Copies of this chain bind each other. A is one copy, B any other.
Amino acid sequence: MNAVIDQQQNLEQYMQQLGKQARAASAILANAAPAQKNAALLAIADTLIKQSEQLKQANNKDLLQGKKDGLDEAMLDRLELTDARIEAMVEGLRQVSALSDPIGEITGMDFRPSGIQVGKMRVPLGVIGIIYESRPNVTIDAAALCLKSGNATILRGGKEAINSNQAITECIRSGLTTAGLPEHAVQVINTTDRAAVGILLGMRDDVDVIIPRGGKGLIERVSREAKIPVIKHLDGICHVYIDDQADLKKAFDIALNSKTHRYGVCNAMETLLIDSSVAEKVLPQIAAAMRDKGVELRGCVDTLKIENEMKLATDEDWDTEYLAPVLSIRLVDGMQQAIEHINLHGSHHTDSIVTENYTRARLFLAKVDSSSVMINASTRFADGFEYGLGAEIGISTDKIHARGPVGLEGLTSQKYIVFGDGHIRQ
């Protein structure tokens, strides 16, 4: 029993130490010059190239252990660090270094009747905890975005990637040191003990925000246990609604692209809603094209009256993120019913209307409560790169702080600044 308590105490101490180190590093990082942060990003990239053999060796340990532990093929694939993947990490670092620096931006310095001048300055959040699963490349992606935005990071990767992550961390540390930045600006939790996550989620003094990246189980655990604000993304149950005043060519293209461009992504369409008055015109063509692509269709009762070669959708289908070549289809009586369906069954991620009607387009924009709402565009555009953020740490389906794709700006906040000339309040 004593051994357990000691280990627990040691873990607690270890985590608190990481926190203190991160906090101290964040104060320096918050005021590091853009050139210095960029130099660190490029130095990390160079180190990754130089160390690529060592990285692959460390990764191989994880792969062997993973096979022993019976990880499935998909997980082993996500875990693997190939030359191409190392090159992609390097390219990512270079891209982030080329982005403009968000920190220190001053906006809106307006004079007030009292004579003071008030505006806002963009600042880092401080210390960001990132909890993710098997992909080791997340270690670099997350570290790069946090570093560029002046935040210190505590990273917790999946236990199956521990050797890979440690090797990557060494490269990061080397790059930070080369650029004269504190080595604790990026720290990886160096234990596979699950209790470490629980401790991290409670470190209110030294961690300012938690970003979980991974499956639903992980995100739900983090949301439930965190004593710190969380920027999270749960499901992506995205809809396309084809209005009765849609251009049917656009409707066809958008429906096909939203579903079949990629299947396992959060911004893929999972449910197609069609105004019943145009369903006979547009549904057969869409259904045929989907089937050609190998998409399994499940429809509501009215859908089956037009296209009966599909399964009847159950109530569960409307609430399911398939992440697979499966599509549920429902006919609705007008846009209002479509909006109600989306707000009830959707996940507030991304939803699109296809219509030529101005008033309906405006109403759809206003009434659909999702992080991205689109008119005549594929849901697949909901993405930090497509939106011009230059990078993406995730897509937030929260309402507080950042909604939708989160780039560098989502890792910052704004403080008020006041310029006076000896002003006092009357």
Contacts and interface: CB of A to CB of B under 8 A. Distances in A.
A333 B369 CA distance: 53
B227 A229 contact: no
A400 B413 contact: yes
Contact of A418 (B123, B374, B399): B374
Contacts of A104: 366
Interface of A: 27, 30-31, 104, 110, 112, 114, 116, 118, 121, 123, 125-126, 204, 208-209, 223-224, 227, 229, 231, 247, 249-250, 253-254, 256-257, 261, 343, 352, 365-367, 369-378, 380-382, 386-388, 398-401, 403-405, 413-425
Contact of A415 (B112, B352, B373, B420): B373
How many identical chains are in the complex?
A: 2
A110 B399 CA distance: 23
Contacts of A247: 422
Contacts of A378: 420, 423-425
Contacts of A401: 229, 400-401, 413
B224 A224 contact: no
Interface centre among A376, A377, A405, A414 (most CB of B within 10 A): A377
Contacts of A382: 416, 418
A422 B374 CA distance: 11
A216 to B, nearest CB: 15
A209 B400 CA distance: 8
B208 A399 contact: yes
B365 A121 contact: yes
A112 B365 contact: no
